[in-house]
């Protein structure tokens, strides 16, 4: 009796199988799919089928013929979604048969919507192969990019996540996505644009949670897309992104987090050319304050200006500007290049190192006066002029201020004993 039941069960399973295990169509399952299809170098045509589906049964001879013709060029596989529903769900399979081509970008397979003949399938496979070869000849990569191929969006994996995100001092927004997810596809262009606009401020990454499941599981990802913010000092406790899905929404949300997490910029004294360039050269704008000579404004006076400028740097810190100061007369070429000092000291100019333009503070050198001046510049307002000399001037090398009051140089005593009478009268 037991033997009869086993035979019936075997025959039933055989009836459900559409492709023989010894044929050219490779049986794909959750245990071999990623290894063969995703991580392999070959182009794959994959059919997602149900054994009871009439259209799937009708496709078998043509699909098998295509697999035989493409042997050694393009691999052909099939997934029984009845037995492996997780693979069907992973790729959004809703009807049978569904055919997808896993080409140069394995994380974003193309839907095959062509004819159901062997010839049509072969042509689609060869087209995908030609595209991969052309990309290689053109210097492209056959590897995948997780988000529209944009270099500004960094592809994250289980293997590089810790090094790039957790062990860095950078701020990160990470999208956990699925290639078949419609909302993820809609987000992609906005994510790429936001990444470009936030470059140098906040890094944007993308991780295919269907492939790199360890990290997705660690951070409790259950839906797509899931976006999390990783801040310095709190990488083990990422914050859920709760903003809008347009590029401007993403940028504004990220800049708010940037303002919360970055310290106020350092106010640097210009003591040589390198100190100026380190503080300003790669910044969109650089605030240059020229303070009175120490003999005209002693330590208490100078420190009050420095404190005011430091507080102002806190208010505008998310602009990522450079902030420097020098003593009146110590950097004459800089003062001449931005026409500073004509109204006395203290004075201020804001310089664009890349555009080689500057704007002068015409109002009061006070908290309100400086704030209004910088606020207008942040909105793109204010008059600008080209830096004189059409390049950033070279800075003098001087000693850094020691924080003390200035002291007048001692007058030399004159010994009159050896001076004759006429010379004494002149003196």
Tracing tokens 């399973």 back to the chain, one arrives at: 13
pLDDT at 289: 97
pLDDT band at 152, cuts 50/70/90?
Answer: confident
Distance, in Å, from the CA atom of 184 to the CA atom of 411, rounded to the nearest integer, reads 77
15, 53, 280, 297: which one is catalytic? 53
- Residue 155: count of CB within 10 angstroms of its CB: 19
297 is catalytic: no
The tens digit of pLDDT for each residue in 80-127 reads: 999 999 999 888 898 899 999 999 888 889 889 888 999 999 999 998
Of 184, 280, 286, 297, which residue is the catalytic one?
Answer: 184
Q: Is 280 a catalytic residue?
A: no
Q: What pLDDT is recorded for position 141?
A: 40
Parallel/antiparallel/unpaired status of strands 26-28 and 75-80: parallel
With a CB cutoff of 8 Å and minimum separation 6, the contacts of 236 are: 166
- 278-289 tens-digit pLDDT: 999 889 999 999
Q: Under 8 Å CB-to-CB from 182, ≥6 apart: which residues? A: 92
Q: Is pLDDT of 387 > 90?
A: yes
Strand partners, 176: 207, 226
Which residue, 107, 105, 106, 256, is CA-closest to 173?
A: 256
Q: Is 301 a catalytic residue?
A: no
The pLDDT tens digits for 289-316 are 999 999 999 999 999 999 999 999 999 9
| Active-site residue, selected from the candidate residues 15, 181, 280, 286 | 181
Mean pLDDT score across all residues of the chain: 87
How many CB atoms are closer than 10 A to CB 4?
8
Query: Residue 251: is its pLDDT beyond 70?
Result: yes
Catalytic residue among 56, 280, 286, 297: 56
Terminal-to-terminal C-alpha distance of the chain: 137
Domains of the chain: 15-137 (3.40.30.10), 153-261 (3.40.30.10), 267-386 (3.40.30.10)
Q: Is 286 marked active-site?
A: no
CA distance 364 to 362: 7
Nearest to 330 by CA among 412, 406, 410, 389: 406
B/e letters for 88-116, b = 16+ CB within 10 Å, e = fewer, are bebbebeebbbbbbbbbbbbbbbebeeee
- Residue from 275, 266, 289 nearest 351 by CA: 289
For residues 323-345, average pLDDT: 91
pLDDT at 412 over 60: yes
């Amino acid at each position: 009796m037991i033997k009869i039941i086993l035979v019936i069960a075997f025959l039933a399973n055989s009836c459900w199988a559409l492709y023989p295990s010894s044929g050219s169509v490779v049986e794909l399952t959750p245990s071999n799919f990623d290894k063969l299809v995703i991580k392999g170098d070959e182009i794959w045509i994959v059919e997602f089928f149900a054994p009871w589906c009439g259209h799937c049964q009708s496709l078998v001879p043509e699909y098998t013929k295509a697999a035989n013709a493409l042997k050694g060029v393009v691999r052909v596989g099939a997934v029984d979604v009845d037995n492996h529903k997780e693979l069907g769900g992973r790729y959004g399979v809703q009807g049978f048969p569904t055919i997808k081509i896993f080409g140069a970008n394995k994380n974003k397979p193309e839907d095959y919507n062509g004819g159901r003949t062997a010839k049509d399938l072969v042509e689609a496979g060869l087209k995908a192969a030609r595209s991969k070869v052309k990309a290689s000849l053109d210097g492209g990569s056959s590897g995948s990019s997780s988000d529209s191929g944009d270099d500004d969006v960094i592809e994250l994996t289980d293997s590089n996540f810790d090094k790039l995100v957790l062990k860095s001092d950078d701020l990160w927004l990470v999208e956990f996505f699925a290639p078949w997810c419609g909302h993820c596809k809609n987000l992609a262009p906005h994510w790429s644009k936001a990444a470009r606009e936030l470059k140098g401020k906040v890094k944007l990454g993308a991780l295919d949670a269907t492939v790199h499941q360890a990290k997705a599981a660690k951070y409790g990802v259950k839906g797509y897309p899931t976006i999390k913010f990783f801040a310095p000092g709190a990488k083990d406790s990422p914050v859920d992104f709760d903003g809008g899905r347009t590029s401007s929404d993403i940028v504004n949300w990220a800049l708010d987090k940037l303002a919360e997490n970055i310290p106020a910029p350092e106010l640097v004294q210009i003591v040589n050319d390198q100190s100026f360039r380190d503080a300003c050269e790669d910044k969109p704008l650089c605030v240059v304050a020229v303070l009175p000579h120490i003999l005209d404004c002693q330590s208490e006076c100078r420190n009050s200006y420095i404190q005011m400028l430091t507080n102002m740097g806190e208010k505008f810190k998310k602009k990522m500007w450079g902030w420097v100061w020098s003593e009146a007369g110590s950097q004459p070429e800089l003062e001449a290049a931005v026409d500073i000092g004509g109204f006395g000291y203290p004075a201020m100019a804001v310089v664009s190192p890349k555009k080689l333009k500057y704007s002068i503070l015409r109002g009061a050198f006070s908290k309100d006066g400086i704030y209004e001046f910088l606020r207008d510049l942040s909105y793109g307002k204010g008059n600008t002029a080209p830096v004189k000399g059409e390049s950033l001037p070279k800075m003098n090398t001087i000693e850094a201020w020691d924080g003390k009051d200035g002291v007048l140089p001692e007058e030399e005593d004159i010994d009159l004993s050896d001076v004759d009478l006429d010379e004494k009268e002149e003196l």
